[in-house]
Structure 1
Amino acid sequence: MSRRLAREIAFKTLFQYDIGKNEVEPTISQLIEENGLEGAGVEFSRQLVLGTLKNLEAIDKALAGYLQKWELGRLAAVDRNVLRLAAFEILYREDIPAAVTINEALELSKAFHSEEAAKFLNGVLDKLARHHEGKEVE
């Protein structure tokens, strides 16, 4: 199973839902088919999308606390949706180490936005993860 591909499909689905108000099911199904994702990867991708959307209000509230001088709605759509996806994993998927989640989020950001954006997201996600793990955050 390619979790990286599953995450990419989940990100693209969330992005299309956010920007184009596309319906989730036909969007994710089409992306899964186009990318040849199979088996456990399909289930993982769906869990990421549905979990993120189910907890979107709490995720956005949690992220807002770490966006210094920024509002989530004013971020680039790529950044906003990468953050949401990663925050879902950090806050709700204890089976995935935060370091793995952050690394995967940075790879998505680099692929779909920029190296500079990835640096910004790294800072936000690192603070969120450390706070969630009970480590002191400055």
Structure 2
Amino acid sequence: MSDSPAPKKQKKPSLTEMRRAARSFALQALYQWQISGNSVTDIELQFRMDNDMSGTDLALFSELLHGVPANAGDLDRSFEPFLDRALNDLDPIELAVLRIGSFELVHRIVVPYKVVINESVELAKVFGATESHKYVNGVLDKLAARVRMTEINAKRGK
């Protein structure tokens, strides 16, 4: 008989946890893309090789990593009216978070707008500057009012 305890079974991550991991990895990969200018295909390959992504929604990771750069100009124009500074003056993390949130608000309609904003705020809290989550919240809230007006009105019973 062995004195060592039986190995603990790791519980399978929930879909929410897997999507949160996908957004986290996507943010880091998009930051790398913004800074390095390397191709997203190369960055995706590097991330898949260098990280344990077993608890990650890989389809969402790939969708964000490829979709954000492909739509960056449109995404930037969608939230730029709500900025209090020039786009070039944004912190690179804030910019990546805003792009992810904007992409989800515009292109992933199945995700409720409150979830998109909450997930973006959480990314900003983990990776951004001290108060960046408040800024991200304000910008995405205003964008949601524009691009998800029907959903917001339905929630309010209008």
Runs of 4+ aligned structure 1 residues displaced above 6 Å come to none
Partner of 2:98: 83
Aligned match for 2:133, one of 110, 118, 122: 118
Q: In the aligned structure 1, how far is the partner of 2:39 from the partner of 2:22?
A: 18
- Which secondary structure does the structure 1 equivalent of 2:82 belong to? coil
CA contact (8 A) 2:113 2:148 kept: no
Partner of 1:61: 77
CA-based RMSD of the aligned residues comes to 1.8
- The size of the alignment, in residue pairs, is 135
Q: In the aligned structure 1, how far is the partner of 2:140 from the partner of 2:93?
A: 15
CA contact (8 A) 1:9 1:32 kept: no
Aligned match for 2:89, one of 74, 80, 89: 74
Which consecutive residues of structure 2, in runs of 5 or more, have no partner in the other structure?
1-14, 154-158
Identity over the aligned pairs, expressed in percent? 33
TM-score between the two structures when normalised by the length of structure 2: 0.78
Q: CA deviation at 1:29?
A: 2.2
Structure (1 or 2) with the greater helix fraction: 1
- Which secondary structure does the structure 1 equivalent of 2:109 belong to? coil
Structure 2 residue 62 is the aligned partner of structure 1 residue 46: yes
Partner of 1:8: 24
Q: CA deviation at 1:114?
A: 3.0
Which consecutive residues of structure 1, in runs of 5 or more, have no partner in the other structure?
none
1:39/1:25 CA distance change after superposition, 3 Å: farther
